[in-house]
Amino acid sequence: MIGRKPAQPPAPQPAAAPTPPDSASTPHGESTATPAGAEPGRRRAREHYLRGNRFFAAQAWRQALAEWRQATRLWRPPSADTRQRRRPWAQLRAVLLLLLTVLLVYNAIYMLFPRASMDMLALNAGQQDQRSWWERWLDTGRPAPLMPGQLGLRDWWVQLRERWLDGNRREGHRREEGVASGIPKRWAELMRRYGRLGAIENWDLDLPLISGNGLSRMGDYGRAVQVLQDSISGTWDPARLGNLYQALANVHYYQGYALQQDGLARYDLRLVAKAAEAYEQSVRYAPRALSYGNLGWMFYLLEDYERAEDYSRTALRMNRNLEYVQLNLGLINLAQDRVFDAFANYRDVIGRQPEDEVYLGGINDLRELVRDKPGRFPHAYLMIGLLAASQGDFTQARAALERFLASPFTGSNWRHLAERVLTDMNTAELER
């Protein structure tokens, strides 16, 4: 008996294809209608998806799966795409915030450093600020070198010690107000107006120094001397004493200085002597090349030529570029009949080709010499001619050189020099 074959299992049927959505629906029943402004990637994803549905309906399983995978890769969620579009704006905002932070930190840091009060006062009170708004905003006061009228770390320590010795801060204020009694309030008010840290108290400024300079410029020399002398007697700090004595010397000097109609000056030698004494005290506490140079000039006016020469050479050892000190040294040598040395000093200044103000100052000093001692120093006219010719003032140079040649007390070598300079000027005028 032929046995019956065992029943075979039915052939496996393919998985039921997903119901193909219509043209306006997605596998989740959501609308797939592509907006008019949709991105090309979304349109291509929908095309692959519909093509996969058609392959599925034709029982082409692999092709359908490949199309659906391609559609998945092309599809991007709207939220991720929006974040991608917003990313450049977020980066720009971060950069702007960083720049703003840097500027604010820049201002905050430099506001903590002291400023040179005298320079700031001259800038804001003496002339109109022509800078742009941006330049003024950025000018927060970079650290300045230690100068008169500026508070540094050592000044703060000195003030703390003074307050401690006074007993308390209130007594320190009372003492300072006593020293500065009668001082105009405008100087402190200017500092408050242009201060970056708000109101500035009186003990934050060297009011006697500022007020002494201000009173001197206004011509009130008596009050300026009183303020500075009272302040000198009430301090022991060497740096501050050097500044106060220098200011006192300038007050005495300008009190005895009178400019005449012809552009030359006359001096009250009694006040010049007081200025020299104050300058000697100033260099004792704070040696400066300019102070030594001024001492040389004042002792020249007092006809103490030995001390004038010593102080002038000290100034030049400290700073070789002080042209006015070289001119003063030429005067000192000329006043002692050392014509060769004087000529070397003037030749050195001429070789530097300085500004016209330097030439003018040297010429006027020589004119004052021949005015005060007529006929005593004929070689002064030669030096005037050399300076004026180098400056380009041929008229004044020719007049001075001709007057020198007319003098009977000149040597032949100097006469040849004067004649050669006259010839060179005539040649230069013909070539113009």
- Write the CB contacts of 200 (distance below 8 Å, at least 6 apart in sequence): 188, 191, 192
Q: Is the pLDDT of residue 80 over 80?
A: no
Q: Is the pLDDT of residue 127 over 80?
A: no
Is a pLDDT exceeding 90 seen at residue 411?
Answer: no
Q: Which of 164, 357, 59 is nearest to 156 (CA)?
A: 164
Facing residues of 259 across strands?
265
Average pLDDT rounded to a whole number, residues 314-325: 92
Could you list the beta-strand ranges (E) of 226-340.
257-259, 265-267
pLDDT, residue 13, reads 46
What gap in Å lies between CA 228 and CA 230, rounded to an integer? 5
Longest distance between any two alpha carbons in the chain, whole Å: 172
pLDDT for 331: 95
Same fold flag, 267-321 and 322-432: yes
Choice among 258-262, 314-318, 334-338, 427-431 with the minimum mean pLDDT: 427-431
Buried b (16+ CB within 10 A) or exposed e, 393-404: bbebbbebbebb
Given a cut of 90, whether residue 304 has pLDDT beyond it is yes
Q: Which residue has the higher pLDDT, 104 or 185?
A: 104
Burial class (CB within 10 angstroms; exposed 0-12, middle 13-18, buried 19+) of 382: buried
Query: Residue 108: is its pLDDT beyond 90?
Result: no
The segment with the largest mean pLDDT, out of 114-128, 181-195, 376-390, is 376-390
Q: Letter for the amino acid at 242?
A: G
Q: Is 265 helix (H, G, I), strand (E, B) or coil?
A: strand
Element (H, E) at 245: helix 238-255
Q: State yes or no: pLDDT of 179 exceeds 50.
A: no
User: Domain 267-321 falls in which CATH fold?
Assistant: 1.25.40
- What ranges make up the beta strands (E) of 199-339? 257-259, 265-267
The residues, any chain, with a CB within 8 Å of residue 178's CB and separated by 6 or more, are none
Give the pLDDT of residue 431: 76
More confident residue, 327 or 26: 327
Q: Where are the domains positioned within the chain?
A: 42-76, 114-126+148-255, 267-321, 322-432
Q: What was the pLDDT predicted at 70?
A: 83
**Banded pLDDT at 83 (limits 50, 70, 90):** low
| pLDDT above 90: percentage of residues in the chain | 32
**Whole-number pLDDT of residue 126:** 40
Residue 367 pLDDT exceeds 80: yes
At residue 51 the predicted structure's pLDDT band, cuts being 50, 70 and 90, is: confident
Q: Which residues contact 149 (CB under 8 A, 6 or more apart)?
A: 116, 117, 118, 121, 205, 206, 209, 210, 243
CA–CA separation, 9 and 21 (whole Å) = 33
DSSP conformational letter for 203: G
Q: Is residue 85 pLDDT above 50, yes or no? A: yes
The pLDDT assigned to 112 comes to 63
Range from 113-127, 198-212, 364-378 that averages highest in pLDDT: 364-378
Backbone torsions φ then ψ of 258, nearest 5 degrees: -135, 120
Report the distance separating Cα 429 and Cα 274, nearest Å: 48
**CA 111, 116, 121, 122 torsion-angle sign:** negative
What pLDDT does residue 399 have? Answer: 93
Mean pLDDT of 74-82: 60
Q: Per-residue pLDDT tens for 142-152?
A: 333 333 344 44
End-to-end CA distance of the chain, in Å? 148
Mean predicted lDDT score pLDDT of the chain: 74
When pLDDT is cut at 50, 70 and 90, the band that residue 77 belongs to is low
Q: Would the pLDDT of 387 be above 50? A: yes
Return the structure tokens found at 170.
Answer: 């209130």
Architecture of domain 322-432: Alpha Horseshoe (1.25)
User: pLDDT category, 317, cuts 50, 70, 90?
Assistant: very high
Lowest pLDDT segment from 6-15, 221-230, 324-333:
6-15
Q: Is the pLDDT of residue 54 over 90?
A: no
Would you say the pTM of this structure is higher than 0.85?
no
